[in-house]
A and B are shown apart, each in its own frame.
Chain A
Amino acid sequence: MKRIKIILAALALGLFVNTTHAQFGKLKDKVNDKGSGGSGNFDSFNQETDELGITGQYFGKVDKKSFGFRYVKEANGKIVNELHYFEKKKSTEPQLKLTLKESYYTKNKVKLFFVWVSASATGYVEVIEIASGVLAQIGADRSQNDNSPVPLDAKRVVKDVLVKDQASLATWDLETAQAKVDMIIASLNTEKLEKENAEWLKNEVYAKNIEKVVFAAQWYHLQKQGYSNKVAVNGADFKTELDMAGNMVFMAFFKNPPSVKYPGQQINIEYEMGGKKTSREVLRKKSAAWSNMVKILETKDWDCRQSETRSIREYNQYQRQIVQDYAAIQVLYDNKDKFKVDQTYEIVVKFYAHRDGENGDLLAQGTVKLKYTAAAKLAFEGDPTKPEVKGVWAQFESFLNE
C-alpha cells in the first residue's frame, strides 16, 4: 500500500511539474531553436533602458527560472513596438516577439503585448504590465484568426507572474495578479463601452429610438439578418399601426447592453392594453404549462444595444408556423370582448430588468396601435367557412385548459 502511495505521489508530482511548465513552456517547445544553449541569467538586460521601462531580467512565480524581456520600438526603419522574450542566454534571437496593443497604451497607458503562435486559444500569449517591474502572463479562452488581442470580454487567466525584483513575488501571487488584470480589463471595458455608445449615437435610427420599443410588420424591417449588433435598417418600415391579421413584431433599443448594465439578471417583457396588464414573468410563475410556454430571458444573452426581434404574433417562414408570445396573446385575450372590426387598440410593450420576481429598471417601452381588421377577426375568432382550423382564441383557450 505504501508503495502505491509513493507511486501516486510521484505521479502527482510529475503532473504538477508538467503543469507548471505548461506556461510559456508549450510555446517554447514550438518556437525554440533546439539545443541553442539552456536557461541562464539575463543580468545584462538590466543595464538597458527603454521608454516603457520594461526591459530587464525577470523571475517567474510559477516557472521559477529567469527570463529576459526587451522592449523594441523600432526595427528596420519601422516602428514595431514589440516585446522580445528570451529564455536562452546564448540565443541572440528572441524566443517570442509580442506586439504592443498601441491604442490601449496611448489612451490608457496599459502596456498589453500579445502574440498568436497558432490560431487556437492555446496559441495565444498575452503579457500585461500590472505594476512597475511586474508582468502578468495570460492565457485566454478564444481562438482567433486576425492579429489582434482577444476581445475584452474574453476570459483571461493569469498563468504566471514575472518580476524584476524577486522580493516582490511575495506581494504578487497569481490571485493578486489576476485581480489586477481584471481591474485593468474592466477599465478598458468601461472606455470601450463609452466609445461604442458614442459610435451608436451617430446612427440616427438608434439616437431617435433609445429606450424605445419599435414595431414592424416584418422582422427584417427591424433588424437585418446577421446585424444583431448594428443598426442596418433605416427605420422607414417601423410602424405606428399594425394589422392584427398580419405579423406583429417588435424590438427594443437599449442605452447600454443589458448584459453589461444588468449582469446576472433576467429580462421581463410586460404587455398592457385597455387597462389590462401582464408580463412574461408573472405568467411563467402561474403554472408548469406557462413555465414551459414562456422561456426565461437572461441578460447574459442580451449583449447588444438592440434586442433580438420578438413577436406578438408572426408567421415564421422557415418553420412554416405561427410564432406567438403567449404573454402578449393573454393581454389580447383579456381585451377580446372589446374588439370591433376596423377599430384600433393601443398596446404598450415594456422591457424591464428583472431579478427574483421583481422588475427593476425600465429598459425600453413603446406603444403601437393594433387594428382589428376583418381578416384579423377571422384569424382570432376562427373562419366559419373553415371550422377545422382553430382561431387564436380557441387555440389559446385549449392551452389555458391544459
Chain B
Amino acid sequence: MKLNFITLFLFFVFLNATAQENQNIELLKLTSGSIAVSKVVEGGSNFKFESTSKTWPVNFTKSGDRFTEIIINRSGIIEEKYEADLPNYPAYYKSSSSEIVITAIDKKIYYYSWSVKTGASIKYILSDSKIKNYNDEKNTIDTYRNTIKDLQAAARNQRIEENTALAEKLAEENTLKGKKIKKIKIIPVSPPTEIGLLSILSLGFEVELEDGKLLKTINLGGLTPYTDFEAQVSGGDFAGGDLKVADDSRKIPNDKIEIFAWSKFDEKKIKGQYSVTANYKKDINYNYSGNSGGNGRGYTVGYNINGSNGANGKSVNIEVTSMTVNGEKINKLTVIDAMSGKIFSESKMHIDNTLNINTAGGNGGNGSVESGNGGSGGNGGNGGTIKISGTGSSSLKTVVTNTGGRGGVGSKGKTQSFNNGSNGSAGQNGTLIK
C-alpha cells in the first residue's frame, strides 16, 4: 500500500512537472505587483544568476479569461509592454520593438530572447521563488516552448484559417476573374521625366467595373495582382508594374513606348492603353571591358597555382549622328566592333546626357598562396581603342575608361624552400580618337 501512495505521489509530481499550460493558465498563479529579479551574468561561456537590488513592478492585463498583455516596469523606470502571441492559447508575450519575449512557468517570469535555432537566451527571471542554475532554467523554457507549440496547433490553425479566409475574401474582391470590365486605365505612378534606354516606368492599372467599382494594382494602392493582366508592349517589356524601356533604339519604333493591357479573364479583351514619347534623357553605359583573369588556386582540381591573364578590352568605333527626336536634340550612337565590323548596339541619347564607356583591360589574376611554390600573377589585358566620329561627335559628352589591366600579384612560396611567384605585367592603356 505504501508503495502505491509513493507511486501515486510520483505520478502527480511527474504530471505537475511535465504538464505545459498555456499562459492564460500560468498567469493565474501570479498576481500583479513588484517581483524580485535575478539577472543573468556572463562569465566567459558560463552563465549564472545574480539577484538585483530592486524588485520590478509587473502588471497583468486580463480580458475575460485571457491575459492579453504584460507590462513590466523595468528597474521601475522603463515601461515595457508585451502582447500575447496567440491570445486563445498563448505561449509567450512579445514586444513590438525588441526581441525580448516573456513567458511565465510555475510562478517564474522568464525575460528572454528566442531563436528557432538555439532556443532561449535568458536575460532575467522575475520570481520570488528560488532560481536554479542557468542550464536548468534554459532547459525549462526550451522544453516549454518546444512542447507548447504542438498544443497551440488548434488555436494557431484557427487563426491561420481566419487570416486565410480574410486574405481569400480580399483576393476575391480584388481579382479580375469573373468581373465585368467597363474600362482599363494605365496610369504612371509618377510622371516620367527621363525616358531613355533601360529606363523603368512604374505603371499601375485601374479597372472600372460595370457596376462602377474601381480596382487598382498595388502600386496605385489597390490589391489587384499584376498577374491578372496580360500586356503587349512596343519599345520595352512589362512585368510586375514596371515597364522597362528596351536596351537598343532599334527596338523602339517611332521613338515611342506604348503598352496595351487587358484582363486575362476577359473574353472581350477590353484594353487600356498608355504611350509616351522617348526623350532619351538618360545616360548610357557601355561595358566592353576585358574579363579579369582568375586567381590561382592550389590543390584544386581544374586550377593551377598561377593567376590567368586578363582579357583585352574591345576596340570599338562609335558613329554619332546628330538629330532631332520629339523636339529634343539627340545623338544617335552606333557602336561597332572595330575588329569584325559587327554592330554591337544602336542607341539614342539626349545631348545633355553622358555616354560612359568602358573598354579597360581585365586585371591579371593573383598567384595562389599557401600552395607550396608561389603562383605567378597573370598579365593585365590591354585597354581597347575607342574611335568616335560623325556629325554629333563634337556634342557627345563622354566618360571613357580604357586603362590597361593591372598585373596579378605573384605569391610567396609557402616556406623558404619553395619558389616565389613573379608578378604579372600591366596591360597597355587604350587610346581615344575623336
Task: Check A173 against B52 for contact (C-beta < 8 Å).
Answer: yes
Task: Check B240 against A176 for contact (C-beta < 8 Å).
Answer: no
What is the total number of residues of chain A having a CB less than 8 Å from a CB of chain B?
Answer: 38
Q: Could you tell me the distance in whole angstroms from the C-beta of A260 to the nearest C-beta in chain B?
A: 9
A367 contacts chain B at the CB level, 8 A cutoff = yes
Given contacts A180-B77, A241-B239, A264-B99, contact A346 B227 (CB under 8 A): yes
Given contacts A346-B227, A368-B240, contact A263 B98 (CB under 8 A): yes
Choose the segment among B4-12, B110-118, B405-413 that binds chain A (4+ C-beta atoms closer than 8 Å). B110-118
Question: Which residues of chain B (158-188) have a CB below 8 Å from chain A?
Answer: 159-160, 163
* Residue of A241, A300, A320 touching B99 (CB-CB under 8 A): A300
User: With the chains together, A182 CA to B124 CA distance in Å?
Assistant: 15
Chain A residues near B37: list those with CB within 8 A: 175
User: With the chains together, A298 CA to B119 CA distance in Å?
Assistant: 13
**Central interface residue in A175, A300, A320, A367, by most chain B CB within 10 Å:** A175
**Central interface residue in B75, B99, B163, B225, by most chain A CB within 10 Å:** B75
Question: Which residues of chain B (117-167) have a CB below 8 Å from chain A?
Answer: 117, 149, 152, 156, 159-160, 163
Q: CB-defined interface of B207-239 with A at 8 Å, one 1/0 digit per residue?
A: 000000000001000000111000000000111
**Central interface residue in B52, B113, B152, B239, by most chain A CB within 10 Å:** B239
Chain A residues near B237: list those with CB within 8 A: 240-241, 369
Closest residue of chain B to A170 (Cβ to Cβ) is: B53
* Residue of A182, A300, A348 touching B78 (CB-CB under 8 A): A182
Task: Check B244 against A173 for contact (C-beta < 8 Å).
Answer: no
Task: Check B156 against A367 for contact (C-beta < 8 Å).
Answer: no
Q: Could you tell me the distance in whole angstroms from the C-beta of A356 to the nearest C-beta in chain B?
A: 7
Given contacts A238-B244, A367-B227, contact A266 B239 (CB under 8 A): no
B39 contacts chain A at the CB level, 8 A cutoff = yes
Question: Which residues of chain A (334-367) have a CB below 8 Å from chain B?
Answer: 346, 348, 355-358, 365-367
A236 contacts chain B at the CB level, 8 A cutoff = yes
Task: Check B116 against A298 for contact (C-beta < 8 Å).
Answer: yes
B277 contacts chain A at the CB level, 8 A cutoff = no
Closest residue of chain A to B163 (Cβ to Cβ) is: A358
- Apart from the given pairs A238-B200, A298-B117, 5 other A-B contacts in the complex at a CB distance below 8 Å: A183-B78, A240-B243, A272-B227, A358-B160, A369-B239
22 cross-chain CB contacts under 8 A: A175-B39, A175-B54, A178-B75, A179-B77, A179-B78, A180-B75, A180-B78, A186-B97, A212-B240, A234-B285, A236-B285, A238-B242, A240-B237, A240-B242, A264-B99, A264-B115, A298-B116, A346-B226, A348-B227, A355-B85, A358-B159, A367-B240
Please list the residues of chain A having a beta carbon within 8 angstroms of any beta carbon in chain B.
173-176, 178-180, 182-183, 186, 208, 212, 234-236, 238-241, 263-264, 266, 272, 296, 298, 300, 320, 346, 348, 355-358, 365-369
- 7 nearest CB pairs, A to B: A367-B240, A264-B99, A263-B99, A179-B75, A240-B239, A176-B75, A175-B52
